Every structure is written in C-alpha cells, then in structure tokens.
Amino acid sequence: MNAITPSDRGLAPFEARLSSFQDATRKAAAGDLALTGLPGPRVEAWHYTSLRALNSYIFNEPDTCFNESAVQVILRSLIPQSGCLEPLPRLVLVNGRVVPALSSPAASLPEGVTFSAFSGSPDFGMQASPQRDPLVALNTALAVDGIKLVVEPRVKAGRILLISLAMSSSGAISFHPRHSVTLGEGASLTLIEIAAGSEGPGAYFHNPVLSCSVAEGAHLEHIKLQREAADAIHLATVYADIASHATYESFTLGLGAVLARHEVHATLRGSHAGVHVNGAQLLGSGQVGDITSVITHGAPDCISRQTVRNVLTDRARAVFQGKVLVERVAQKTDGYQMNQALLLSPTAGIDAKPELEIYADDVKCSHGATVGALDEEQLFYLRSRGIPDAGARQMLVEAFLTEAADLVQDEVAHAALGTALTEALVSRIAAWENAS
C-alpha cells in the first residue's frame, strides 16, 4: 500500500510516518489530513498562529531507548525531594510513552482510581472534525501511547501528577500522546500536568490530546505547567465534557517552547454546570504563546469563567482567542472572559480575539481585554525606596501574574506554580533590563 502524500508542505515533516495503517480510525485520520493539510493563516482559528516552524524539521518517531540518568536529572529539577509535589503519585511519559519504572505503581494510586496505558487498548474517545481540528487528526494517526485514568463514582482521588518529558539525542522527533480522564458521578480529582524537556541536538514536537469526561456532581481540577525546551513546539488540545452540577477548572502556565498553543474545547451539557479556563504566559526571546478556547453552553443555568494574563518581553508574541457559544436552550447563562497583557518591550505584541455567539435571550455574558506597560509611578515608588530597577520590575510582574495564579484553588498546585514562576522571573531579569 502506498504512503499518503500530503496536500501541502505542512505535513511534509510527517510524510514518512503517515503511511498506510491497518486500524480504520488511524487510516481515516491520515486520509483526511492528506486532503486538508495542516491549518494555515486562512483558517480563522489559526489566523494569528503560524505553523511554519514545523517545516524546519523532518520529525522522526523517537527511539524507545533514552538516557535514564538525564531523565532523572530533569525529574529532580521538576520535583525536588523537599518539594510539595514529591509525595504525590505520578505517571511519567518519556517521548510520549509511559515508563512504568519512573511512574508510581498502580497499588499506590488512591483506592477507586484505575490506570491503564493507551498502548494496551487504544481508544480515541472524542473524535474531532479534521476540517476544524487537524492537529487532533494528526494525533489520531500517530498516537502510540498515553494515560487512561478512571475515577469511580463518589471517590475523592486527591492529587495525581502527569509528567511528559522529552529527550532528543539525535535529530528532530515528534510524539503524540493520547490521554483520557473519566470521573464518575460525584467524584473529584486534581490532575497536575507538567510538560518539560531537555535541550538537545534535535528539536521536538509535542502534540498531546486530553479528553476529560466529568459526570454529574463531579469536580476535576486540571493544572498544567508547560516548561518545554527552548526550541520545542508544544501544541496541546483538551476536550472537556461536563455534566449537570459538575465542574471543570483548569489553569495553564506557559513558560517554555518557541511555539506553544493550549486549546480547550469545553461543553456544558447539564444544568448548573461550571467551567473555568484560566491561564498565564511569561514569554520572551521570540516565543509565540497561544491560548485558545471554545466554551459551549448547551444547558441552562451554567457558568463559565476565563481569565488569562500575559507578560511579554523582547520579540515575544501572545495570542488569545476565547469563544463563548450559548445555544438556544442555555437560558440564564453566566459567562465572563478577560484577557490582560503587559508589554515590556516595544517589539512584543499580542493578538486578542474574544467572541460571544449567543442564541438565548436570558443571559449575562461579557468580555474584556487590556494591554499596557508597567506603571511608571509604581516603578518610581519602588526605586525611591532603594529597590533596583530590575528588582522593581520583577516585583510588579510577579504580582501581576501571581494574581492570575491565585485562581488555582488547590494549595499544592498553587505552590508549585508559584515556585516555577519565581524561577522563570529571576532568569529573565536581564531581558527586562534590555527591554527597558
């Protein structure tokens, strides 16, 4: 059987791997991609975020062997033994594959929580339209492994770590993990996700897809820390399906990668459900960070909230696209969006596109966006009290981003985000001095 030929250059880096598949789902996804290609600037959802960076490499499938000592070094930097995350049960993937030796044994997971690997029983769950979500179709064609978590009804599962590490020893690689989290009626879980990688001779492309199913009365808090390597590409898609009286709360902190996108599709399917899709980004050195969401109110008396804050230096660029769709049945909807950005350099920029699409007539929906620089009066006040300029800038930026991180309810996740944010701010003081 012949290999699939991409319709444009966008899929050329994956042409060798998008060959014939025996599995009907993979074969269909690869065939659809051959017709549509990857999205370009004419696709509205990707108008502000270019995927040209993918054309710089030929992405190979990562080797199953890796430097275990180097992985342990990364793990220790992410989860120091004295840190708040160290005691938590963890599921670790390296280059998109679950590594049992680095993960907690199944017996250490809370009672009522079951884990299995995607590789053992592939189940693609929610399917996306290739016309709308071609990166999910690419994931469907190339997914090798991932995690499947199931929390039984009325089980309080506590906190679980999901860690995705990248190790590129020779040449560019790509991996496409497929994750799913299912909460039964009245269950609860805090999933703390960390994506990180090592600087190596080859770039890498991390294209994860996570499907979340939150049953009636359940609560899922999903906290994500993105600390990919400087030359990495991280394009993540999340689907959340929320039943009545259930909640899905998420927060993503974007620090790494040359190109990153965190895209959330949340659907409120039952009355009195709620969803929070919050985030913050600290970008510099030509990084591009994109936070995109589509929140669909498909039932009455539901609430959605989204707050995103960005701090941009040098030639960094951020993108915020937030759409709230209120269907006709969704009366008494309460929806709110706010995007704020601090530009610390005249060459930094942000594209913001909040959207409201409303078909019901009894709703309360609003959105807003602000863009500005640091307050000169506040800087003067701090400098007048003996604080150096770089330190004053750090204090104001940290306060700006910490206010966004305060939306995280879980105290352990909040502490971990605060530590990562402080470390990133300290490392970028020199950039702020140049930007000023």
Choose the weakest-confidence range: 15-24, 83-92, 121-130, 248-257.
121-130
Q: Higher pLDDT residue, 54 or 163?
A: 163
Helices 389-405, 376-384: axis angle to 10 degrees equals 120
Count of CB atoms within 10 A of residue 201's CB?
A: 9
Mean pLDDT of all residues belonging to the chain: 90
Output DSSP code: residue 202: S
**pLDDT at residue 7 above 60?**
no
Residue 214 maps to a domain: yes
Residue 26 maps to a domain: yes
What 3-state DSSP class applies to 226? strand
Range of the domain at 246: 9-374
Q: Average pLDDT, stretch 11-30?
A: 75
Question: How many residues in total does the chain contain?
Answer: 436
Look up residue 129 and give its two tokens.
């339209």
Contact 167, 73 (CB under 8 A): no
Residue 433 maps to a domain: no
- For the entire predicted model, the pTM comes to 0.93
Classify the C-alpha dihedral 104-107-108-114 as positive or negative.
positive
Residue 210 maps to a domain: yes
Structural domains in the chain (count) = 1
Q: Distance between CA atoms of 100 and 68, rounded to whole angstroms?
A: 13
% of the chain at pLDDT higher than 70: 93
What 3-state DSSP class applies to 16? coil
Residue 32 maps to a domain: yes
CA distances from 338 to 48, 157, 278, 348 (A): 19, 31, 9, 20
pLDDT digits 0-9 by tens, 254-299: 999 999 999 999 999 999 999 999 999 999 989 999 999 999 999 9
Q: Distance between CA atoms of 146 and 130, rounded to whole angstroms?
A: 21
Q: Average pLDDT, stretch 171-192?
A: 95
Residue 346 maps to a domain: yes
- The residues that bridge with 175 in the sheet, in sequence order, are 206
Q: Confidence band (pLDDT; 50, 70, 90) for 430?
A: low
pLDDT digits 0-9 by tens, 67-76: 888 888 889 8
Q: Average pLDDT, stretch 10-18?
A: 74
Q: What is the 3-state secondary structure (H, E, C) of 368-419?
A: EEEEECCCHHHHHHHHHCCCCHHHHHHHHHHHHHHHHHCCCCCHHHHHHHHH
Residue 431 maps to a domain: no
Residue 329 maps to a domain: yes
Predicted local confidence at residue 26, as pLDDT: 83
Q: Confidence band (pLDDT; 50, 70, 90) for 5?
A: very low
Predicted local confidence at residue 121, as pLDDT: 81
Q: Distance between CA atoms of 124 and 366, rounded to whole angstroms?
A: 35
